[in-house]
């Protein structure tokens, strides 16, 4: 029997006290930075973490400290920092005790919030669902869902591309990962997608909203949404157990999986993994599609450039707008990075977004330039330079799945039309829990011949 992960502190007070205890027990000083308490900094960081991260790099270098609310957070940015945290010293960093712990209220003990043997065993059980042939089968589902939804792309129509893509990606996840019929599953008059959004909106609250407990608070709304989603998931898991599996999707894999003693996975653990995958799959591909077409609307000549491929567009989009833009961890032991000591049991963040926008690593980082991703360009990249899917043994398990989905959707749109932003459109980012265009992305459909990038074979 695989031992369950250690329980997390209950409630915000216990969490804060734990953080303060850890900080007091530090045996080496924190790296230089802004280490005094400041509510102004805390709120400003929560509104716009990206500017803070890049500004800190300029002032202090690749490793520095920012005090956010009650505790220090050590930022580690750039290729070497990414490689240190994700690959060469990954064993010294815990996911569960870092800020990802905040997701456990909804996700429970899934891949994103666990470490060690528990995480390894679960990942091993789930990997077959992401093998090449499963991705091929999923691609057929994706094509089918996209074809069904393309009717909306009539010349002159205004479409909220973010909303449109989110709907597809949720339907695809339900069908391809969990073998559910999205048109049938909502038997209680409940919209599972909306319920999920409501639960996640907790993470977009300001610090006071997230700390409050009791009736009517964002946290109690999260719990209500979770209870409704749980009822739906438990019903499906039971149904699948009664069916005896037989299907090849991820849910069947989890239902049929046994540990070394031949014991099936407890229903709660299956629920936690399903919820985690719904979360991880839901906003990442959707945001990427939105940002890709936003940049094509800003740079229309790129779609007609036969030297550019759909994959180059995708890779540059994930450089400029990596949806999972920050990777929080807790260090286990004190360590040294770039000659600077860092305490053990300290909150550490690596950041794909900040690392992808460092001017000394990516010339003109604010310019959308798919030519960075020619085969030669990619071969010249340093270890840890490009990390939209993380890295090392915990690289995004859904990477191939997500890429396949984005390719199919982007191709379908580029074959049929071009999209423009509405006059006066201004991009405002939402950063919690993932990077996405705040308020969606309304776009106007224009008639056009298939884009040149579709036939490019670089």
* Binding stretches for ligand HEM (CB under 6 A): 111-112, 123, 177, 276-277, 280-281, 284-285, 288, 318, 322-324, 327, 388-390, 394, 396-398, 401-402
Picking from 93, 116, 96, the residue whose alpha carbon sits closest to that of residue 342 is 93
Query: CB of residue 107 vs ligand HEM: minimum separation in angstroms?
Result: 10
Residue nearest to ligand HEM (CB): 398
Q: Kindly tell me which of 49 and 402 has the beta carbon lying closer to ligand HEM.
A: 402
Query: CB of residue 100 vs ligand HEM: minimum separation in angstroms?
Result: 7
CA atoms within 13 A on the CB side of 148: 13
Query: CB of residue 188 vs ligand HEM: minimum separation in angstroms?
Result: 25
Query: CB of residue 277 vs ligand HEM: minimum separation in angstroms?
Result: 5
Residues 6+ apart with CB under 8 A from 217: 209
Q: Kindly tell me which of 57 and 178 has the beta carbon lying closer to ligand HEM.
A: 178
Pairing mode, strands 158-160 and 327-331: unpaired
Query: CB of residue 429 vs ligand HEM: minimum separation in angstroms?
Result: 15
Q: Kindly tell me which of 31 and 388 has the beta carbon lying closer to ligand HEM.
A: 388
Segment 48-51 long-range contacts (CB within 8 Å, at least 24 positions apart): 48/431, 49/325, 49/326, 49/431, 50/325, 50/353, 50/354, 50/357, 50/429, 50/431
Is the distance from CB of 346 to CB of 74 less than 8 angstroms? Answer: yes
The rounded distance, in Å, linking the Cα atoms of 31 and 61 is 10
Q: Kindly tell me which of 225 and 288 has the beta carbon lying closer to ligand HEM.
A: 288
The rounded distance, in Å, linking the Cα atoms of 427 and 423 is 12
Is the distance from CB of 260 to CB of 92 less than 8 angstroms? Answer: no
Q: Kindly tell me which of 287 and 445 has the beta carbon lying closer to ligand HEM.
A: 287
The rounded distance, in Å, linking the Cα atoms of 374 and 57 is 28
Q: Kindly tell me which of 281 and 312 has the beta carbon lying closer to ligand HEM.
A: 281
Q: Kindly tell me which of 115 and 369 has the beta carbon lying closer to ligand HEM.
A: 115
CA atoms within 13 A on the CB side of 66: 27
Q: Kindly tell me which of 134 and 445 has the beta carbon lying closer to ligand HEM.
A: 134
Query: CB of residue 110 vs ligand HEM: minimum separation in angstroms?
Result: 7
Query: CB of residue 113 vs ligand HEM: minimum separation in angstroms?
Result: 9
- Give me the DSSP letters along 23-65: HHT-SSPPPSEE-S--HHHHHHHHH-HHHHHHHHHHHH-SEEE
- Give me the DSSP letters along 328-340: EEEESS-EEETTE
Q: Kindly tell me which of 195 and 403 has the beta carbon lying closer to ligand HEM.
A: 403
Sign of CA dihedral 354, 358, 362, 367: positive
The rounded distance, in Å, linking the Cα atoms of 289 and 162 is 8
Q: Kindly tell me which of 177 and 294 has the beta carbon lying closer to ligand HEM.
A: 177
Q: Kindly tell me which of 410 and 445 has the beta carbon lying closer to ligand HEM.
A: 410
Query: CB of residue 1 vs ligand HEM: minimum separation in angstroms?
Result: 21
Query: CB of residue 155 vs ligand HEM: minimum separation in angstroms?
Result: 29
Residue located via tokens 């991009």: 427
Query: CB of residue 250 vs ligand HEM: minimum separation in angstroms?
Result: 8
The rounded distance, in Å, linking the Cα atoms of 226 and 196 is 8
The rounded distance, in Å, linking the Cα atoms of 333 and 27 is 10
Residues 6+ apart with CB under 8 A from 135: 400, 401, 404
Phi (first) and psi of residue 68, to 5 degrees: -115, 120
Query: CB of residue 396 vs ligand HEM: minimum separation in angstroms?
Result: 3
């Amino acid at each position: 029997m695989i031992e369950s992960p250690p329980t997390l502190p209950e409630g915000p007070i216990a969490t804060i006290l734990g953080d303060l205890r850890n900080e007091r027990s530090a045996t080496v000083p924190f790296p230089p930075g802004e280490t005094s308490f400041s509510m102004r900094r805390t709120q400003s960081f929560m509104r716009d973490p990206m500017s803070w991260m890049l500004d800190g790099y300029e002032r202090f270098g690749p490793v520095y400290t920012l005090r956010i609310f009650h505790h220090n957070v050590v930022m580690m940015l750039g290729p070497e920092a990414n490689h240190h945290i994700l690959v060469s010293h990954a064993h010294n960093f815990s996911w569960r005790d870092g800020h990802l712990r905040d997701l456990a209220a909804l996700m429970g003990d899934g891949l994103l919030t666990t470490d060690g043997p528990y995480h390894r065993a679960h990942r091993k059980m789930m990997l077959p669902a992401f093998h090449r042939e499963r991705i091929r089968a999923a691609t057929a589902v994706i094509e089918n869902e996209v074809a069904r939804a393309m009717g909306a792309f009539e010349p002159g129509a205004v479409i909220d591309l973010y909303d449109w893509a989110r709907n597809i990606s949720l339907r695809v996840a339900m069908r391809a990962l969990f073998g559910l019929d999205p048109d049938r599953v909502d038997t209680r008059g409940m919209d599972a997608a909306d319920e999920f959004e409501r639960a996640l909106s907790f993470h977009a609250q300001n610090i006071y909203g997230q700390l409050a407990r009791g009736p009517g608070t964002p946290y109690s709304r999260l719990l209500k949404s979770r209870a409704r989603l749980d009822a739906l998931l438990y019903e499906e898991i039971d149904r699948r157990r009664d069916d005896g599996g037989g299907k090849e999707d991820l849910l069947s894999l989890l239902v049929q999986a046994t540990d070394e003693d031949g014991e099936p996975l407890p229903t709660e653990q299956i629920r936690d993994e399903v919820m985690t995958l719904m979360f991880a799959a839901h906003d990442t591909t959707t945001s990427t599609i939105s940002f890709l077409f936003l940049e094509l609307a800003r740079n229309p000549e790129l779609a007609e450039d036969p030297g550019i491929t759909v994959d180059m567009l995708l890779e540059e989009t994930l450089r400029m707008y990596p949806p999972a833009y920050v990777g929080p961890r807790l260090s286990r032991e004190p360590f040294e990075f770039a000659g600077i000591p860092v305490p053990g049991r300290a909150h550490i963040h690596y950041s794909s977004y900040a690392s992808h926008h460092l001017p000394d690593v990516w010339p003109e980082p604010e310019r959308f330039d798919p030519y960075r991703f020619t085969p030669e360009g990619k071969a010249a990249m340093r270890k840890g330079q490009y990390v939209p899917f993380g890295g090392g043994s915990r690289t995004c398990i859904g990477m191939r799945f997500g890429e396949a989905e984005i390719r199919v959707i982007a191709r379908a749109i580029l074959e049929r039309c071009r999209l423009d932003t509405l006059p006066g459109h201004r991009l405002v980012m939402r950063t919690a829990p993932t990077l996405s265009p705040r308020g969606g992305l309304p776009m106007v459909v224009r008639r056009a011949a298939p884009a040149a990038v579709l036939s490019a074979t670089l």
